[in-house]
Amino acid sequence: MKMLLAWLSLLLLFADDLTGATSVEAAAPHPNIVLILADDLGYGDVQYLNPQRGKFATPHLDRLAQQGMTFTDAHSGSSVCTPTRYGLLTGRYAWRTRLQKGVLDGGNDEPLIAKERLTLGSLLKGQGYTTACIGKWHLGFQSKSNTSKGGKAFGGNGLPVGAKIIGGPTTRGFDSFWGCSNARTMSSLIEGEQVIESIETVDMLPRLGKQAVQYIESHASSSKKSTPFFLYLPLTSPHTPIVPSEEWKGKSGLGDYGDFVMQTDAVVGDVLKALDQYQLSENTLVIFSSDNGCSPAAGTEQLERSGHFASERFRGYKADIWDGGHRVPLFVRWPNRIQPGSRSDQLVCLTDIFATCAEIIDQSLPDNAGEDSISFLPALLGRVSPAQRKSIVHHSIQGKFAIREPRWKLCLCSGSGGWSKEAATSPQLYDMQKDPEESINLASQQPDVVAGLSKLLREIIDNGRSTPGSNQPNDVAVKSPFAATDD
52 pLDDT band, cuts 50/70/90, is very high
What's the sign of the alpha-carbon dihedral 263, 266, 267, 268?
A: positive
Which strand (E) or helix (H) includes residue 343? strand 342-344
Taking the C-alpha atoms of residue 270 and residue 171, their distance in angstroms, rounded to an integer, is 29
Phi, psi of 429, rounded to the nearest 5 degrees: -125, 125
Beta strands in 79-157 (DSSP E): 130-136, 142-143
Taking the C-alpha atoms of residue 93 and residue 290, their distance in angstroms, rounded to an integer, is 16
DSSP 85-97: HHHHHHSS-GGGS
- Domain 30-380 class? alpha beta
CB-based contact 127:361 (threshold 8 Å)? yes
Give me the chain's average pLDDT, please: 91
Phi, psi of 191, rounded to the nearest 5 degrees: -125, 125
Taking the C-alpha atoms of residue 314 and residue 203, their distance in angstroms, rounded to an integer, is 33
- DSSP code of 233? E
DSSP 233-245: EE---SSSS----
In the chain, CATH 3.40.720.10 covers: 30-380
63-77, 328-342, 413-427 — which is least confidently predicted? 413-427
In the chain, CATH 3.30.1120.10 covers: 392-463
- pTM, 2 dp: 0.92
CB-based contact 442:430 (threshold 8 Å)? yes
| Mean pLDDT calculated for residue range 188-210 | 96
CB-based contact 201:155 (threshold 8 Å)? no
32 has a pLDDT exceeding 90:
yes
Q: What is the pLDDT of residue 423?
A: 86
CB-based contact 93:350 (threshold 8 Å)? no
> What percent of the chain is predicted at pLDDT more than 90?
85
C-alpha distances (whole Å) from 165 to each of 13, 424, 464, 470 are 57, 44, 31, 36
Torsion of CA 93, 94, 95, 97, to 10 degrees: 120
CATH level 2 (architecture), domain 392-463: 2-Layer Sandwich (3.30)
Taking the C-alpha atoms of residue 215 and residue 172, their distance in angstroms, rounded to an integer, is 19
61 has a pLDDT exceeding 60:
yes
15 pLDDT band, cuts 50/70/90, is very low
DSSP three-state, residue 458: helix
- Each residue's pLDDT tens digit, 451-485: 999 999 999 999 999 999 999 999 999 988 986 54
In angstroms, how far is the first alpha carbon of the chain from the final one?
83
Largest Cα–Cα distance of the chain, in whole Å?
A: 85
